[in-house]
């Protein structure tokens, strides 16, 4: 099948408006006869479910947690972008569009990104009307902060809990519709397959996670908003349950999977402390505004620190290597996420990591304490302040800005970051790749849509901070509710979709057989054993820096782990009860396929772009020596993979990317 992105004709500024004016609508009386399934209740799924229900459709929403409020979106810290230009610093729809395309290293679809920028301002209006308590200034108006990679202040925030507050807003809108009976909420339910009837998505098979019952649910359209697949690495900043199953199941039934190798590895996370580690914790990007990143210059000091003979604070300025400032004088500690992550890896690979695992660098606030302290001393007219006084005044300012993060760090690491530098290391954080969708957010299965982090649409090869929340809510509140109407207008006379068809029988049988296999297999190894093994291959060979040899090995190794998994996995308990090990088994089985496709995609993309760094594609000399080199002649396309059985046999379809409104440039942060 040829890929058709269905981008409307006309100038980029008018596309969305013209499109909305021309699409077919479903009249309110007919919406009552149409059912829509929404899988996922994060920002994307939650906002979509609430809006579709409000429009009059009958919505069935699914989440594996015990409440929509607990979706992983709840954990987002920093903020949400919107082109409001409240600060009067020259922001505009075009500038947000431009920053997002450039930040994504010119690997996203222009028309989608422009639409995202266009609806961004509405999101803030909507959320304020819902009672989201965004931060305000003393005049009572909304406050903004700035985030990496941009020159304006357009990020709205609610302390360090922006995702929580936005999700609770969408949750409250859902609750209103649940109370009216327009949303039927299925908590503790996991979608395990999509059902296709006459070529269209017409329902799902789900497992009730309390009773183990397998259920059939039908609808006229299926929307998947199940989040990202970062947990393919085992360790990531994602929630423990975050998974690819819903996205992977629709892929296996015909939805193309796009750019699986585009992953964001976030530079500022708390390092791993041992083999028992179950997840990694993010320290917000905002810390890089005031923290300076370094490792010791001399190997003797590295050893002395690891063995506890020296403290980081014992090292003088000349004994420290502020490597970001050294390598990137223009941007310094504020280079984009991918660049900062690779630079940390480079130092640690060279042996300069500062903790026992050798995988940590310092994030030091000492100069911020000093700078703010002196400034405060001036403001308060303190003559000749002592070093202690300066420190005390500076510390208070840093505490007001980042107090909750410092406290979180201390609780986990048991060191006081006001007294000694923080230790950080990059960690997997976000997946830009995902299910391929057209301009309507429809996948290559008619009637099956994909929204939020689960799709590939807006961030190209790298996502800017505070843009995922924006995309999730844009998709759910403002884009999908229009585009899905155009599709559903053909279904007003279809009537209820029966669940006693042969298609439902077949899908249910497949799901049941797989579950029975797991509980009867009685192998010798736990699910986590395989998940950790997969994670290690992914991190070592398809992590921050990749090459053809490693990726080829990764494909073979993942295949071997998968084969061992299907022989040796052990799942205690039965199918007819709450069984967390069984849930994990299903998810890891899917990760074991996705991981191999990921490596294959990374192998095919023999260029460096955004978060995807191929060692073979770096600048060889000149001032940019060693930096990533993009190749627009051969790789300005989206890779969309068609499922053909084994991941290694997947077939590549290319969506060529055209840039009519933006000039392509190599990124430089020197």
Residues in 191-250 that interact with ligand FAD by CB under 6 A: 191, 225-228, 237-238, 242-243, 245-246
Q: Is 72 in the site for ligand FAD (CB under 6 A)?
A: yes
By a kind-dependent CB cut-off of 5 to 8 A, residue 62 interacts, out of other proteins, ligand FAD, none, with ligand FAD
The footprint of ligand FAD on residues 268-297 (CB under 6 A) is 282
125 to 164: interface string for ligand FAD, x by CB under 6 A = -------------------------------------xx-
Going by their DSSP bridges, the two strands 221-224 and 35-39 should be labelled as parallel
Q: Which of residues 526-545 bind ligand FAD (CB under 6 A)?
A: none
Is there a contact between 419 and 392 (Cβ–Cβ < 8 Å)? no
**Quick one: what does residue 136 bind among ligand FAD, other proteins, none, with the CB cut-off 5 to 8 Å set by partner type?**
other proteins
Which part of the chain contacts ligand FAD (CB under 6 A), choosing from 76-84, 92-100, 272-280, 442-450? Answer: 76-84
Are the C-beta atoms of residues 109 and 7 closer than 8 Å to each other? yes
Q: How far apart are CA 507 and CA 503, in angstroms?
A: 6
Residue 130, contacted partner among ligand FAD, other proteins, none, CB below 5-8 A by kind: other proteins
- Residue 101 burial (CB < 10 Å; 0-12/13-18/19+)? buried
Residue 243 binds what, of other proteins, ligand FAD, none (CB under 5 to 8 Å, by partner type)? ligand FAD
CA distances from 337 to 289, 428, 462, 472, 500 (A): 13, 11, 9, 21, 50
Q: Is 572 one of the binding residues for other proteins (CB under 8 A)? A: yes
What mask of x and - would describe binding to other proteins in positions 296 to 315, judged by CB under 8 A? --------------------
Which of 31, 33, 60, 72 binds other proteins (CB under 8 A)? It is 72
Among 16, 171, 248, 406, binds other proteins (CB under 8 A): 171
Does 42 sit near ligand FAD (CB under 6 A)? yes
Cβ-Cβ contacts under 8 Å for 402 (sequence gap 6 or more):
284, 286, 287, 290
Site string for other proteins, 613-632 (x = CB under 8 A): --------------------
For 90, list phi and psi in degrees, rounded to 5. 90, 20
Backbone dihedral region of 655: left (phi > 0), alpha (psi from -120 to 50 degrees) or beta? beta
Whether 238 contacts 228, CB under 8 Å: yes
Contact residues for 524 (Cβ-Cβ < 8 A; gap 6+) = 568, 570
Closest CA to 630 of 655, 657, 597, 654: 657
Q: How far apart are CA 101 and CA 659, in angstroms?
A: 10
Q: Is 39 in the site for ligand FAD (CB under 6 A)?
A: yes
Binding mask 218-257 for other proteins (x = CB under 8 A): ---------------------xxx----------------
Torsion of CA 435, 469, 154, 283, to 10 degrees: -110
28: Cβ–Cβ under 8 A, 6 or more apart, which residues?
55, 56
Given 33, 52, 59, 78, the residue binding ligand FAD (CB under 6 A): 78
Counting residues that bind ligand FAD (by CB under 6 A) gives 45
Our finding on whether 575 is near other proteins (CB under 8 A) is no
Contact between 331 and other proteins per CB under 8 A: no
Q: What's the gap between Cα 290 and its chain centre?
A: 25
Q: Alpha-carbon distance 248 to 504, whole Å?
A: 19
By CB under 8 A, name the one of 41, 81, 108, 126 that touches other proteins: 126
What residues line the site for ligand FAD (CB under 6 A)?
39-45, 62-65, 71-73, 75-80, 162-163, 190-191, 225-228, 237-238, 242-243, 245-246, 282, 429-430, 452-454, 466-469, 472
């Amino acid at each position: 099948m040829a890929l058709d992105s269905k981008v409307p004709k006309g100038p980029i500024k008018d596309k969305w408006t013209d499109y909305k004016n021309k699409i077919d609508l479903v009249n309110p009386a007919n919406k009552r006869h149409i059912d829509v399934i929404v899988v996922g209740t994060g920002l994307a799924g939650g906002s979509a479910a609430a809006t579709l229900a409000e429009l009059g459709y009958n919505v069935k929403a699914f989440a594996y947690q015990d409440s929509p409020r607990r979706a992983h979106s709840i954990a987002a810290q920093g903020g949400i972008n919107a082109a409001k230009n409240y600060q009067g610093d020259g922001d505009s729809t075009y500038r947000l569009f431009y920053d997002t395309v450039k930040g994504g290293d010119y690997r996203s679809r222009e028309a989608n990104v422009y639409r995202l920028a266009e609806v961004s301002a509405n999101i803030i209006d909507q959320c304020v009307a819902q009672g989201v308590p965004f931060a305000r200034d003393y005049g009572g108006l909304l406050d903004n902060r700035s985030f990496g990679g941009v020159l304006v202040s357009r990020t709205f925030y609610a302390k360090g809990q922006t995702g929580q507050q936005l999700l609770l807003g969408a949750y409250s809108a859902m609750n209103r519709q649940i109370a009216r009976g327009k949303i039927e909420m299925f908590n503790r339910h996991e979608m395990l397959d999509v059902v296709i009837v006459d070529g269209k998505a017409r329902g799902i098979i789900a497992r009730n996670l309390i009773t183990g019952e397998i259920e059939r649910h039908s609808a006229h359209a299926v929307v998947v908003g199940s989040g990202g697949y970062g947990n393919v690495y085992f360790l990531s900043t994602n929630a423990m349950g975050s998974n690819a199953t819903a996205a992977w199941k629709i892929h296996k039934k015909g939805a193309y999977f796009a750019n699986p190798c585009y992953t964001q590895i976030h530079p500022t996370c708390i390092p791993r402390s041992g083999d028992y580690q179950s997840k990694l914790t993010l320290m917000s990007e905002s810390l890089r505004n005031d923290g300076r990143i370094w490792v010791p210059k001399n190997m003797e000091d590295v050893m002395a620190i690891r063995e506890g003979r020296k403290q980081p604070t014992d090292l003088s300025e000349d004994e420290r290597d502020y490597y970001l400032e050294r390598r990137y004088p223009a941007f310094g500690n504020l280079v984009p996420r991918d660049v900062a992550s690779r630079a940390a890896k480079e130092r640690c690979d060279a042996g300069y990591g500062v903790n026992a695992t050798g995988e940590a660098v310092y994030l030091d606030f000492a100069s911020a304490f000093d700078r703010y302290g002196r400034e405060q001393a001036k403001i308060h007219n303190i003559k000749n302040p002592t070093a202690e006084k300066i420190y005390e005044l500076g510390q208070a300012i840093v505490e007001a800005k980042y107090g909750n993060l410092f406290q979180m760090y201390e609780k986990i690491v048991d060191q006081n970051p006001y007294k000694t530098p923080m230790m950080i290391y990059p960690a997997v954080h976000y997946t830009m790749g995902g299910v391929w969708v057209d301009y309507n957010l429809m996948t290559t299965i008619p009637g099956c849509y994909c929204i939020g982090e689960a799709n590939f649409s807006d961030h190209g090869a790298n996502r800017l901070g505070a843009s995922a929340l924006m995309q999730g809510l844009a998709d759910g509140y403002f884009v999908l509710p229009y585009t899905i109407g155009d599709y559903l207008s053909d279904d007003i006379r279809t009537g209820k979709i029966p669940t006693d068809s042969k298609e439902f029988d077949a899908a249910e049988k497949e799901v049941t057989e797989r579950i029975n296999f797991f509980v009867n297999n009685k192998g010798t190894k736990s699910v986590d054993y395989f998940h950790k093994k997969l994670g290690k291959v992914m991190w070592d060979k398809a992590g921050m820096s990749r090459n053809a040899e490693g990726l080829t090995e990764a494909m073979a190794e993942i295949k071997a782990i998968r084969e061992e998994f299907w022989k040796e996995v052990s799942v205690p308990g039965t199918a007819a009860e709450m069984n967390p090990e069984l849930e994990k088994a299903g998810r890891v089985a899917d990760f074991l396929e996705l991981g191999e496709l990921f490596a294959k995609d990374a192998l095919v993309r023999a260029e460096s772009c955004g978060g995807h760094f191929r060692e073979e594609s770096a600048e060889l000399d000149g001032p940019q020596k060693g930096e990533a080199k993009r190749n627009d002649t051969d790789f300005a396309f989206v890779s969309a993979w068609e499922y053909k059985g084994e991941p290694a046999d997947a077939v590549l379809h290319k969506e060529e990317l055209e840039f009519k409104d933006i000039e392509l440039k190599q990124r430089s942060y020197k």
